[in-house]
Structures are given as C-alpha cells and as structure tokens.
Amino acid sequence: MAAVTELSFLLFALINNIHAEERIIIQKERGSYTFKLPKNTNSCLISRSVGEEKLVLWNTSDLWSNSSSVPKHLKKRLVSRVKTSSYTIRRLNHSDSGRYQEECWTEGNVTHENNITITVCTSIGWSARGITARLGETVDVPCWGAADNLDIQWLKQDLKYEQETWSRVFGDNMTSVMDNVRGRYQVVTNTSALRVSNVTATDFTGYNCLVMHQQQCVSSYPEELRLQSETTYHSVGETAVLPCTITDSTDEQPPRWMKFIIFLKSTFGFLLTWTLCSHVFVSE
C-alpha cells in the first residue's frame, strides 16, 4: 500500500512538472510585447512573480481608473486594444524581465490561464548559417557571442507554440532538464558551445545562447541545427535501399519513414523530394 501511495505521489509530481514547463519569450530592449487574451471574458488579470511574491500588474476590467493597480511607470507604456483583447507593453527594459501569468474569468469560472517568462536582452543577433549534422553524430552548436564569458544560458525552441517560444536546456550548469536522460547535452567549457551527442530527430530545431551579466541578458544568439542531407541518384526501374541510422528505437516507438515533396518555382519548375527516417512520438 505504501508503494502504491509513493508511486501516486511521484506520478502527481511528474504531471505537475510537465504542466509547469517554463515557456520563454525573448524580446529586445526598447521593443514591445503583446498579451493576446481571449475575447468574451468578463475580466483578466496580468500578474508578475517577484521572488515568491505575485504582483498584480493590471485588471482588464479596471485598467485606467485612479484606483487601478497598474504601476505608474508601466501605465505610461501600456497600450490596450479592446477590439482584439490585446495589451502591449512598450519600450521594454531589463526590469520587465520575469515570469508573467494571465488569468481570465467568465461568469466566475477560470476560462484561461497562461504562464510565460519574458527575457529582455540588450541586443538580439541573427543566425548567419545553420549547423548541420547526421543522425547519431555529435555536434557542437556554437555560442557566437560568448567569447570568454562563461555566464550563459542555453535555450531550445519549443515548436508546440505559434509564437517563437523557448525552453531551458539546462536547469543549472550541470543538469539538463530537456531530453537529457542519457546526458546528451553538455556545455563545452572553453567555448560555451552546446554539445549534442547522439543526435536524434528531435534535436533538429532552433537553439539560443543568452550571454548574461548579473542575471540580465546582454545578448541573444540564435542558431539552428539542421539535418545534413544525403542525395542518391537512380534510374527509373532500379531498386534503391535507403539506410536508417536510428539505433535506439523500440517496438513501442519504431522509426517511421516520411517523404517530403516541394515544388520549386523556376523557369521550367521542378519537384524536389527527399526521404527521412525519424522517431515518431505519440502522446497519450
């Protein structure tokens, strides 16, 4: 009975941890961020966590009254658009960085809740080129702006959301919190590059290296890890054998072959096709 109770507690903690996954939005200093709230709600609160304290920033049903909870320095930078239920903070600065929560009610019931972390960086770089790798290889994703500054944070793009959203690769300098059961992610000491071992299909996405100074983001350097393509040529009627390099599949999660076709517009127009063997993750 005790074992069952302990197992239930662990499952409960795991589920809560999944739902508490941190979503990070990167914004440039002096830029803006817009909270897009659902329509047809009676009232929405936007709050921000400061340490263990939750500070209510504003209530959409009482935004501009004299008794409004909106801080004065924020009220001057806040723009509301009632028709689209959107609220924009302009002229972002480092003090706007932090964890935010959206909560909306309809007829007394909570109908919307969203948690994000906004990180404001002094500058945001652009990826000059993508890093390519084959499945199963080990590759270093560079942090171009790190130099000898080892105070960095690595983020991985979360493709579940329409907006460009990131999640932490590491909870601290030693422990990865994403897809790191086998310790596949490590930071190279001398270069601050992110070393990805035994590359799988889920690793082909965007990464972001944040250079930090006293908990503030100095610069953001995004990079993309891409699959290195291999082309094979055959004549019509021949038999082609395509290798699948995935070695860690299981009967429950076998590899799956996918074919991609793109029509490229040119003077004559032609089709580009390629085939990829990758894992397919099925959620319950």
pLDDT of residue 179: 45
The band of 261, judged by pLDDT with boundaries at 50, 70 and 90, is low
Each residue of 92-139: pLDDT tens digit? 999 999 999 999 998 888 999 999 999 999 999 876 568 889 888 999
Each residue of 157-179: pLDDT tens digit? 987 777 789 999 876 444 444 44
pLDDT of residue 44: 92
pLDDT of residue 15: 34
CB contact burial 200-224 (16+ within 10 A = b; e otherwise): ebebbebbbbbbbeeebbbbbbbbe
How many CA atoms lie within 13 Å of 110's alpha carbon, on the beta-carbon side? 7
24-33, 205-214, 257-266: lowest mean pLDDT where?
257-266
Residue 156 vs residue 17, higher pLDDT: 156
Distance from C-alpha of 39 to C-alpha of 43, rounded to nearest angstrom: 10
The band of 62, judged by pLDDT with boundaries at 50, 70 and 90, is confident
Structure-block tokens of residue 29: 């200093």
Asked if 212 contacts 122 with a C-beta cutoff of 8 angstroms, the reply is: no
Mean per-residue pLDDT for 7-30? Answer: 59
Average pLDDT value over all residues in the chain: 77
What domains appear along the chain, each with residue ranges and CATH number?
A: 19-118 (2.60.40.10), 122-227 (2.60.40.10)
